[in-house]
Amino acid sequence: MEDFINMILEPLKELFLKFKGFAPNLLAMLVILLVGIAFARIIKLVLVKFLTAIKFDSWSDRMGFTKLMRKGDLWAKPSAILGEIAFWLLIIITLMSGLNALQVPTINHLVGEFFSYIPRIFSAAMILIVGYVLSGFISRTVLIAAANNGFHYAKILAEAIHTLLIVLILSMVMEQLQIAPGIVLAAFSIVFGGIVIALAIAFGVGGIDAARRIIESEAISKREEETKDEIEHL
Amino acid sequence: MTDFYQTGIITTLHQLGKPSLERLEGDLLRFSKVRPIALVLPALYSEFEGPAMPGIIQELAKVKYLNEIVLVLDQASEKDFQRARELMSPIPTEVNIIHNKGKRITEVYETLSRNGLDVGAQGKGRSAWLAYGYVLARGRSDVIALHDCDIVTYSRELLARLCYPVASPALDYVFCKGYYSRVTNKMNGRVTRLLMTPLVRSIQQLVGQHDFLSFLDSFRYPLAGEFCMTTEMARVNRIPWDWGLEVGSLAEVHRNYSPRRVCQVDIATTYEHKHQALSPDDAGKGLMKMAVDICKSIFRTLASEGVVFSDGLFKSLLVTYLRQAEDTLMKYEADATINGLDFDRHEEAKAVETFTKAIAMAAQTFMENPMSTPLIPNWNRVISAIPDIFEMLKMAVEEDSK
């Protein structure tokens, strides 16, 4: 009977000892989570106040970021959205740190991978922001230059260049984030190559007559020069 | 049948004989190919529940020449907005509804506000301004017509006559204001009859001949809420967001365009809409509020054109106005008598007293702060401050409509 009771109690004891060893880790995780959430809230509040103080929303309205947000059906203030992004990033980092405190090898490995991925996320975000500003600047420059030169389709040209640049930037972002890099590279090459070939064909086919005229006029002028020489010699 | 007398410095287009509505609409259909027409309707949801809006929808369902209708819906919940969409569905023309209290439009207002663009308080002025912006953003129309949504005697002839002068490429008008008689069994339109006309003429008496006063006095019904204009005008004109909307809009038309390109048209033989209470003891509502805002708008416009207002001038103005209004009152009494209309002399005199108080209040406010301006910036300035505002506005309306 005693053996039977020991048989039941031994696993329970073992479980208790394991839990006893694990409890400080769990407690550490809970503390990290609580502190992290509080910290994230404070950072969000401070960030939104700071962005409001430097009139970030107004700047964003003029630079086109607000329009970009609206296109994604985001109708809050840009500063509030940035505050939310910062909050959730901190929450994710807190969660990862908390999980790391559990000292479970598999989770530790995952957390390690996540933290090594963070620099990629930051560089992708930088590419996206700088690229978007640059593409807007370039398309506006093209629009002004083309319109000033009397080009009839200035707006369409500027929009086409803007779209192409955005495609290029998104490809770079996805490549940076290592999201199906092979497919992205192939798709980008096909799309960009296709556009270039289409333009080349359109220009080539459309310019056959013009090219013929240019070549013919070149040939005629050469012939005339040769004939002139003969006459002069005579 | 009306006379053919041309009033003042603008063109008056009378309703002579019995013009055929079919011919008018046929012409408008042709004109709309060259000059597409947008109709702007500033509406409250309560107007859908009353007799006015169902009648207007029924009439608009028969109109073929409109390019688009933009309805700005105010004081409506999300459920009311959906209901309004359903109610507008019998109209074959493309209808876009701007939900003024919707999340997205609120954010558009917020965007304007944080960029230092004060678009004022909720009301017809702000609604009309936003609708102009939406029409400009879409860039599909060259002419904008606007009428109130509380007209219970609405017929599509009103719309056709309102649009015709501006839509017609042969007539070179950029702005057209509607006029009509406000007669049932009695004369209505107290603010126009007993405030506007006597006040304008009193100021003329005191400061002498003035272009803007002559311009205002040329309109048979300067406070009519029905008008039609080119989209170009909607882009450059600023409009007030308070009750000075009609007078302020006329001031902007006068400032930016020649009176030769402005006309008024007889749009209805009878016109009946929601009546406002006189509210003599509360300057914050009713006709009293309306009168104060109108007076302020006139004073401000005149001051901006170089007229010097002083305490003495305002004191004289009150006395001159009272005399003018009393004379006007007697004229209307005679007019009512010969036509067998009811005429409550006491009520009319009470209205004059209230308007005198309103002029005094407006004068005081003006003297305290002559720079206070309830004008909403024009769209050119707004685009300059926020280049993407048209895109945002279009997205807001389109997303709301999904």
Closest chain B CA to residue A58: B115
A140 reaches B (C-beta below 8 A) = no
| Residue at B5 is within a domain | no
| Residue at B193 is within a domain | yes
Contact indicator for B66, B162 with CB cutoff of 8 Å: no
| Residue at B388 is within a domain | yes
B398 reaches A (C-beta below 8 A) = no
Residue contact B114–A57, C-beta within 8 A? yes
A-facing residues of B in 194-213 (CB < 8 A) are: none
**Whether pLDDT at A44 is above 80:** yes
| Set of chain B residues whose Cβ sits within 8 Å of the Cβ of A76 | 107
Q: What is the DSSP string of B199-241?
A: HHHHHHHHH---HHHHHHHH-SSTT-S-EEEEHHHHHH--EES
**Whether pLDDT at B256 is above 90:** yes
**pLDDT tens digits for range A131-148:** 888 888 898 889 889 888
Q: How far is B236 from chain A (nearest CA, A)?
A: 21
A71 reaches B (C-beta below 8 A) = yes
A139 reaches B (C-beta below 8 A) = no
Domain count, chain B: 1
> How many Cβ pairs within 8 Å bridge chains A and B?
36
B97 is in which domain, residue-wise? 11-401
B104 reaches A (C-beta below 8 A) = yes
Distance CA A32, CA A176 (A): 30
Residue contact A62–B107, C-beta within 8 A? no
Distance CA B254, CA B221 (A): 16
**Whether pLDDT at B59 is above 80:** yes
**Whether pLDDT at B10 is above 60:** yes
Q: What is the DSSP string of A178-200?
A: TSSHHHHHHHHHHHHHHHHHHHH
| Residue at B6 is within a domain | no
| Residue at B395 is within a domain | yes
Structure tokens at A110: 């995952």
Q: Return the residue matching tokens 């967001």.
A: B241
Dihedrals φ, ψ of B324, to 5°?
-60, -45
Give residue A154's pLDDT band: very low, low, confident or very high (50, 70, 90).
confident
| Residue at B1 is within a domain | no
Burial B44-55 (b: 16+ CB within 10 A, else e): bbbbbeeebbee
Residues of chain B with pLDDT > 70, as a percent, come to 99
**Whether pLDDT at A194 is above 90:** no
Closest chain A CA to residue B103: A75
Structure tokens at B165: 């002068």
| Residue at B338 is within a domain | yes
Distance CA A201, CA B316 (A): 82
**pLDDT tens digits for range B280-336:** 777 777 888 889 999 999 999 999 989 999 999 999 999 999 999 999 999 999 999
Query: In the prediction, which pLDDT does A228 show?
Result: 63
Residue contact B396–A75, C-beta within 8 A? yes
Residues of chain B with pLDDT > 90, as a percent, come to 79
Element (H, E) at B264: strand B262-268
**Whether pLDDT at A229 is above 80:** no
Q: Taking all residues of chain B, what is their mean pLDDT, rounded to a whole number?
A: 92
CATH code where residue B311 lies: 3.90.550.10
Query: Taking CA B365 as the corner, what is the angle to CA B361 and CA B367, rounded to the nearest 5 degrees?
Result: 115
| Residue at B2 is within a domain | no
**Whether pLDDT at B224 is above 90:** yes
Contact indicator for A97, A39 with CB cutoff of 8 Å: no
**pLDDT tens digits for range A170-193:** 888 988 888 887 887 788 788 878
Q: Taking all residues of chain A, what is their mean pLDDT, rounded to a whole number?
A: 86
B385 reaches A (C-beta below 8 A) = yes
**pLDDT tens digits for range B121-151:** 888 899 999 999 999 999 999 999 999 999 9
Residue contact B395–A71, C-beta within 8 A? yes
Give residue A129's pLDDT band: very low, low, confident or very high (50, 70, 90).
confident
pTM for the model: 0.79
Hey, is B93 helix, strand or coil? coil
